[in-house]
Structure 1
């Protein structure tokens, strides 16, 4: 499923300045993996060392 992802200003350096990008994923983990495939380095800003979404990252569904 294609998902629209709004990118906060601090992460736009990974998305070539784009404030919104599209990614594929049926769950958050798959979505983050697709973001990393498209924008190398972004995953370590979103997830901690154990692969969990960092506590300061907000995820909204249908928002």
Structure 2
């Protein structure tokens, strides 16, 4: 039996992509959870985890992650072929 993580598609915001040379808006990674997907991104582009997570560790306040249209946390499971969308929160007044 193969228990290796499945490939998932991660969609990143342009503002984040611009900080990491060679990064694109859509990235395929092997991951079983949101945390593993962020780890895979950080392995390719060191420093990405620090942009997405704080020291607790948790997803930063100004970052929203969605999987299957639902808000997700670091422990959220990713089904094979899932899409994980990372958005920067926008505030205004």
Question: Structure 1: which 5+ runs fail to align?
Answer: none
Question: Structure 2: which 5+ runs fail to align?
Answer: 1-5, 70-93
More helix by share: 1
Q: Report which structure shows greater RCO (CA 8 Å, sep ≥6).
A: 2
Q: 1:11: which partner in 2? A: 16
Runs of 4+ in structure 1 deviating by more than 3 angstroms, as ranges, are none
Alignment TM-score, normalising by the size of structure 2: 0.60
Is the radius of gyration larger for structure 1 or structure 2?
Answer: 2
More strand by share: 2
RMSD: 1.5
